[in-house]
Amino acid sequence: MPSPSIQCLTFTCKEISGQVICLDNLPIHLTFSPQRHVIAKQWLQKYLGATHITDNTDRHYFTDLIGEFLAGHHQNFPPQAKSPFVEKGSNFQRRVWDCIAEIPYGETKTYGELAKAIDHPGAARAVGQACNANPLALIVPCHRVIGSNGLGGFAGGDTIKKILLLLEQNTMRQKSSYQLKS
């Protein structure tokens, strides 16, 4: 049986750059942190025996999708491969990630609202930790989860979180304005 194809992609658009790991051409890990990217590659090698991880510098459909998203032309990502990074998450983390995936483009929810939504009221801090452990940033849009008194944290950094939230708000405002004119 041939070993799976694992590719590492890098994307840069506007002030945002990040890394994606694809398994058989489907994203299984997306981060804005080079350190997390290295750790993810090491984990694949150690626990999945991945020996052929290639850096793909060619154009790739998924980095094109990210570019469209960051340009405000694309709001949802297609269903994803079964990610080993998601599978290794706890039941609680996976419930949080599933709930985050339901937050519509341009909207936000607080850590406390998510805790209530998964029947764990009072677990806002644990929700924040699950957000921090999210292996599929953007795809599971944890940047849409905010603190009750402000922005809250983000594994990709506060600047990227602000840029992503402003991008989505501006895109929704422009679409709303366009619909009113039509």
- What positions carry a catalytic annotation? 142
Per-residue CA distances from 3 to 6, 20, 24, 49, 91 (Å): 9, 19, 10, 10, 29
Closest CA to 169 of 122, 124, 106, 117: 106
Beta carbons of 30 and 9 less than 8 angstroms apart = no
| Partner residues linked to 13 by β-bridges | 16
Closest CA to 124 of 140, 132, 109, 112: 112
